[in-house]
Amino acid sequence: MPITLDKQLAAIDVLRQENIFVMDSQRARTQNIRPLKILVVNLMPKKANTEVQLLRHLANTPLQLEVEFLYMASHKSKNTSNEYLENYYRTFADIKDKRYDGMIITGAPVEQLPFQEVDYWSELCQLMEWSKTHVYSSLHLCWGAQAGLYYHFGIDKQPLEKKLSGIYEQEVVGTSPLLRGFDDSYRCPHSRYTTIYPDQLKKCSLQILAEGPEVGVAIAASDDLRQIYSFGHLEYSRDTLSEEYHRDLNAGINPLLPVNYFPDDDPEKKPRLTWSLAASTFFSNWINYAVYQETPYDLAELD
Annotated binding site: 163, 191, 247
Catalytic position from the list 142, 188, 211, 244: 142
Catalytic residue list contains 142: yes
Given a contact cutoff of 8 angstroms between Cβ atoms, the answer to whether 139 and 104 are in contact is: yes
Query: What three-state secondary structure class fits 189?
Result: strand
- Amino acid letter at 111? E
- Amino acid letter at 5? L
- Binding-site residues for substrate sit at 163, 191, 247
Query: What three-state secondary structure class fits 14?
Result: helix
Distance of CA 258 to the CA centre of its chain: 21
Given a contact cutoff of 8 angstroms between Cβ atoms, the answer to whether 283 and 125 are in contact is: no
The greatest distance separating any two alpha carbons of the chain, rounded to the nearest whole angstrom, comes to 65
Residues 6+ apart with CB under 8 A from 80: 45, 46, 47, 48, 71
With vertex at residue 298, the alpha carbon angle to CA 293 and CA 302, rounded to the nearest 5 degrees, is: 80
Residue 99 sits at φ, ψ, to 5 deg, of -130, 150
Catalytic residue list contains 140: no
Catalytic position from the list 51, 111, 233, 244: 233
Given a contact cutoff of 8 angstroms between Cβ atoms, the answer to whether 230 and 250 are in contact is: no
Question: Per-residue DSSP letters for 142-163?
Answer: THHHHHHHHHHH-PPPEEEEEE
Residue 242 sits at φ, ψ, to 5 deg, of -65, -45
CA distance 143 to 149: 10
Catalytic residue list contains 125: no
Active site residues: 142, 233, 235
